[in-house]
Structure 1
Amino acid sequence: MTTSPSPVISRNPSDPSDIVVQVPAPGAFATADTVERARAAQPEWLSGGASARSTALAAVAAAIEAAAEELAALAVREVGKPLTEARAEVARTAAIWRYYAQAPYEPVGSVHETAAGAGLLMTRRRPHGVAGLITPWNFPFAIPSWKAAPALAVGNAVVLKPAPEATACAQRLAEIVQRELPPGVFTVLPGGAAEGGALVAAADVVSFTGSTVVGQAVVRAATARGVPVQAEMGGLNAAIVLPDACIEQAAAHLAAAIAGYAGQKCTATSRVIAVGVALEPLREALSEALRAVPVGDPADPATVCGPLISEHARDQVCDAWHGTPVLTGGTLPDRAGWYATPTLVEKVSEGHRLLREEVFGPVAALLPADDLAHAVRLTNAVPYGLVTSVHTTDLDAALTGLDRLDTGMIRVNAPSTGVDFHLPFGGAKASSHGPREQGRAALEFYTAGRTYTLSPAKTT
């Protein structure tokens, strides 16, 4: 006897009794069929030419802008994103589609002289076919877009498997995109592990963003098939504050990077490394800044720290601060929903979870360092290497630190959070696998290089 897959249920994290969407999971066989339909639609999408693809992507950007308030409200309801940040994400999503709308006109190769004799040598980049995209819930519009838009721009078809917690956002994005594209070129596939695994098993190129454990499994499965794969996984990001830094500004940046969207970003700051005499003033300033972070209903434009995505996520945050001296926070607000206060702890023992794992919540550890070299060693002493922020007025010190950090992205006098979609995005060590996302790097990932030799049919 066969059983139907469990339904996909998405709840409002600020009001768990509110079911945003409930849909059946299609299962592995339906996933494979969806990929085949996308594969059948892809050649026509490619052959339509640069103008057709550019026009379609630009139209998607305009449609997203027209629906901006509706989309922001949906992100608030489904994933608990504070309204101000949700609006910013939707604006960035439109900008991503508009940026990649110009990509179909980019050069796709080069022409070379032969080493000897008549003819031409050419290089050309061509789409893989069907891009299988697996995306998380925390940026329900931006991350699917910065994967899908470049894949579509260069002529691939796309099948998107969103996180179950962001199903409604993905379905609404699909409604917008599908109005501008031929049938079958962009498809959203709700579901969980079964659908994700089936997509990796069938797609021609795979892009994943999510947890380290799942990402590593995706990499192994795609690599075994010999298809290109990139995976953006965990972060355990540090902020280094040198004694000469503007402590008040650094504290404001750190509070935003720790508590914004309840710390539910792979670029959030989870370790604060204070160098030398910066420790005492930073401890006081950062504690004060975190206490001032507005916590509450994500629909309130003033809210910065809304709910965690689930009860399990909130429990993981509580477990992370348990048994450590709490400088500020460490409590659960008395309200419906899965909330936790922004929390700063200190005197964290070596091997503590906060120094080994990504907690994905509004909690950070304050660590002392004797000097910059010590701070760099502490920063590098974790399995991850996504982003580091360095706070200093000394350019020489900043440049020295930059050269020694094992992280893919380094931000000086800025929060660790924040992404420039026209630049490569990715980390080192366990944070990332494969080529970078975003910018021109994405256009290369979603294409394969070919070399052509064109010789005359007849020689004289």
Structure 2
Amino acid sequence: MTVISRNPADPADRLVDIPAPGAFAAADAVERARTAQPGWARGGAAARAAALGAAATAIEAASTELADLAVREVGKPVAEARAELGRTVALWRYYAQASYEPTGAVHEPAAGPGLLLTRRRPHGVAGLVTPWNFPFAIPTWKAAPALAAGNAVVLKPAPEATACALRLAELVRQALPEGLFTVVPGGATEGGALVSAADVVSFTGSSAVGREVVRTATARGIPVQAEMGGLNAAIVLPDADIEKAAQHIAASVSGFAGQKCTATSRVIAVGDALDPLREALAEALRAVPVGDPGDPATVCGPLISEAARDATRTAWQGLSVLAGGTVPDRGGWYAAPTLVEKAAPGHRLLREEVFGPVAALLSARDLDHAVRITNSARYGLVTSVHTADLAAALEGLDRLDTGMVRINAPTTGVDFHLPFGGTKASSFGPREQGRAALDFYTSSRTYTVSPA
């Protein structure tokens, strides 16, 4: 296999074109990491905090360069790329301080003198398999907590984000001991070898690959988490601020060409909200700036590949198109933000994640009907509810079968200090981010200390 990474806005521009290193390279990286890890874990919280803080500083100093690299390699609009780098720096600093978090508790013995202790210890080597759509933030929100907890890291990025991952590693390694943070480029062979050798695995990507990662890791008896996408709904009640809801939804449908697991792909209008929302959302999507991701005004840039562009175009065929439904005549792999209606219950848009800037408008009789439509999907990542009724908002919080619920806010956007993850086919295993990530990258030990 050859690892190839192209500029999706200019496919003739190749950033990476190298032979894949093979399974042995992944296994060798794990062994080198396993050699480096014990000294890192024994070095103490202060040393780990200082190193992660230094990594944040190095990334911050290079943030303009890195944002431009994300624009070129994955087609991320430059304004969003800059925001991702800001979040990346903040994540390294957050987990630098998390090195000082308590790792256990002292308990009263059931009888007699002595101590009962619980203590969390690092697993060893964390194998991270990451996607291309957040080429700096996702590797960071996996690697930083793993390192803060005392693990070593081996990262296998998506081929489409290889240049970003290699540059991130160059910067991070300036602050870390040798062998502690390694990038292994490649595809399924390298990823499979990493999952077969690491001590703990974190994956973000497609459902099909995620299920295989889970099977391999669980068969080995090692901890695994997998984030595998969403089919996210925005519910709009008649009392909502329709114009504001339409702006939120349009941004969630079209931002970065809909290439986010938290993008909105189903819009459920409740009762009398249907007609005004149809008009407002179609108008908002038609107004979204589509074009060169290097232009600060661009919101919807290219899709990651020709195949992704074609799959998006196929998704709206045969449906009633309210906005978009076109492929701009320009270089690169573009598709206009698109809103459709009259999708039958079994239509692909209502069953599978398209990962493009297209959403289906649906109608519901009441909130109960909207909740049932939302929960009917096999995914359960995030739902937004737009309403001025606090009771309705609270009902949505309680009854929606999704890992995250956002009231009067877009489905996109997460707070990195809180747990991230979904239900059903969206996620497997413990949550990512926040304090939950430190728990995932450690195992709990119970100690009994009795007097001699």
Cα drift, residue 23 of structure 1: 2.2
Matches of residues 128-143 of structure 1 in structure 2 within 5 Å? Answer: 128-143=123-138
User: Could you tell me which residue of structure 2 aligns to residue 3 of structure 1?
Assistant: none
One-letter amino acid matched to 2:132: W
One-letter amino acid matched to 2:160: E
Counterpart check, 1:163 vs 2:184? no
User: Could you tell me which residue of structure 2 aligns to residue 111 of structure 1?
Assistant: 106
User: Could you tell me which residue of structure 2 aligns to residue 441 of structure 1?
Assistant: 436
- Measured against aligned partners, the alpha-carbon deviations of 1:208-249 in whole angstroms (never above 9, x if no partner) come to 000000000000000000000000002000000000000000
Deviates more, 1:216-225 or 1:114-123: 114-123
Cα drift, residue 103 of structure 1: 1.0
Counterpart check, 1:238 vs 2:233? yes
Counterpart check, 1:19 vs 2:14? yes
User: Could you tell me which residue of structure 2 aligns to residue 210 of structure 1?
Assistant: 205
Cα drift, residue 251 of structure 1: 0.3
Quote the Cα distance in structure 2 between the aligned partners of 1:192 and 1:146: 21
Gaps of at least 5 residues in structure 1 are: 1-5
How many residues of Structure 1 are paired with residues of Structure 2 in the alignment? 452
Q: 2:84 aligns with which of 83, 89, 102?
A: 89
- SS of equivalent to 1:416: coil
One-letter amino acid matched to 1:371: D
Q: 1:183 aligns with which of 163, 168, 178?
A: 178
Cα drift, residue 21 of structure 1: 1.4
Quote the Cα distance in structure 1 between the aligned partners of 2:47 and 2:17: 35
One-letter amino acid matched to 1:300: D
Matches of residues 380-399 of structure 1 in structure 2 within 5 Å? Answer: 380-399=375-394
Q: 2:401 aligns with which of 391, 399, 406?
A: 406
Matches of residues 318-337 of structure 1 in structure 2 within 5 Å? Answer: 318-337=313-332
- Measured against aligned partners, the alpha-carbon deviations of 1:2-42 in whole angstroms (never above 9, x if no partner) come to xxxx1201000000000011222111112111100100000
Quote the Cα distance in structure 1 between the aligned partners of 2:435 and 2:25: 33
Cα drift, residue 402 of structure 1: 1.6
Assess if the C-alpha contact under 8 Å between 2:76 and 2:256 holds in 1.
yes
Cα drift, residue 206 of structure 1: 0.2
One-letter amino acid matched to 2:106: V
Matches of residues 265-344 of structure 1 in structure 2 within 5 Å? Answer: 265-344=260-339
Q: Point out 4+ residue stretches in structure 1 off by more than 4 angstroms.
A: none
One-letter amino acid matched to 2:42: S
Cα drift, residue 124 of structure 1: 0.2
- Measured against aligned partners, the alpha-carbon deviations of 1:143-165 in whole angstroms (never above 9, x if no partner) come to 00000000000100000000000
RMSD: 0.5
One-letter amino acid matched to 1:203: A
User: Could you tell me which residue of structure 1 aligns to residue 449 of structure 2?
Assistant: 454
Cα drift, residue 358 of structure 1: 0.1
Assess if the C-alpha contact under 8 Å between 2:143 and 2:153 holds in 1.
yes
Assess if the C-alpha contact under 8 Å between 2:15 and 2:163 holds in 1.
yes
Counterpart check, 1:417 vs 2:412? yes
User: Could you tell me which residue of structure 2 aligns to residue 30 of structure 1?
Assistant: 25
User: Could you tell me which residue of structure 2 aligns to residue 366 of structure 1?
Assistant: 361
Q: Normalising to structure 1: TM-score of the pair?
A: 0.98
- SS of equivalent to 2:444: strand
Quote the Cα distance in structure 2 between the aligned partners of 1:62 and 1:91: 11
- Measured against aligned partners, the alpha-carbon deviations of 1:334-363 in whole angstroms (never above 9, x if no partner) come to 000000000000011110000000000000
Counterpart check, 1:75 vs 2:56? no
Q: 1:194 aligns with which of 175, 178, 189?
A: 189
Quote the Cα distance in structure 2 between the aligned partners of 1:152 and 1:96: 12
- SS of equivalent to 1:364: strand
- SS of equivalent to 1:105: coil
Cα drift, residue 112 of structure 1: 1.6
Quote the Cα distance in structure 2 between the aligned partners of 1:142 and 1:422: 13
Cα drift, residue 104 of structure 1: 1.2
Gaps of at least 5 residues in structure 2 are: none
Deviates more, 1:27-36 or 1:300-309: 27-36
- Measured against aligned partners, the alpha-carbon deviations of 1:60-82 in whole angstroms (never above 9, x if no partner) come to 11111111100000000000000
